[in-house]
Chains A and B, each alone.
Chain A
């Protein structure tokens, strides 16, 4: 079946540090890939997406590139801020008959200290 594996957390960084959160996936066909962020007490917010191989999604300084050869979609940011502290989820939609179904990784807690 389809699955998403994220790097184990939590991740603790100082402000302005470089961030990488690893995400790999298993899926048949050509899935679409997403990163979502969840702040305390809130639902998930879409951070970025990529729908085909070599696509780069970007938003608010975050980037991720769809790498089909390594089945990866790692999230990066060059300089994190305290306000980036949240839980980050990598997800895929497998396409085909996977109507409206996102398969999520386990989430990575990010804490950024001043």
Chain B
């Protein structure tokens, strides 16, 4: 069974640009969650999608947005990039997103110059 796939693995952008990250969940999983990992703040929850609907959102500015498609694949978008957005962005999927274990991808490393 294929795991969670995130693309691209690495991205380099400059301040002010925007970026889109992609996540393909494990087959049959309908819940996709996104996290930001930085050395200073650790792992922080961004948002969760289930059946194309955002059900939960963390404390991030509106520049961070996402969506989910009918095949459960998800994208995350960050607009007007800032230096502080440099991080590892992790996607995780689970069957229905309750207290079930989440399965993580290897992440997208975003660097802002």
Which residues on A are within 8 Å of B, measured CB to CB? 31-32, 34, 36, 41-46, 49, 51, 89, 91, 93, 95, 97-107
> In terms of DSSP, what is the predominant structure of the interface of chain B?
strand
A93, B99: Cβ atoms under 8 Å? yes
Question: In the complex, what's the smallest C-beta–C-beta distance from A1 to chain B, in angstroms?
Answer: 10
Number of A-B contacts (CB under 8 A): 70
A100, B33: Cβ atoms under 8 Å? yes
B50, A99: Cβ atoms under 8 Å? yes
Cβ of B103 < 8 Å from any Cβ of A? yes
B4, A43: Cβ atoms under 8 Å? yes
Which residues on B are within 8 Å of A, measured CB to CB? 4, 6, 31-33, 35, 42-43, 45, 48-50, 55-56, 58, 90, 92, 94, 97-99, 101-107
Contact A93:B98 (CB < 8 A) given known A43-B4, A99-B48: yes
> Of all chain A residues, which has the CB nearest B106?
A43
A100, B104: Cβ atoms under 8 Å? no
Partner of A46, one of B31, B48, B102: B102
- State in angstroms the CA–CA spacing of A113 and B99 once bound together: 35
B55, A99: Cβ atoms under 8 Å? yes
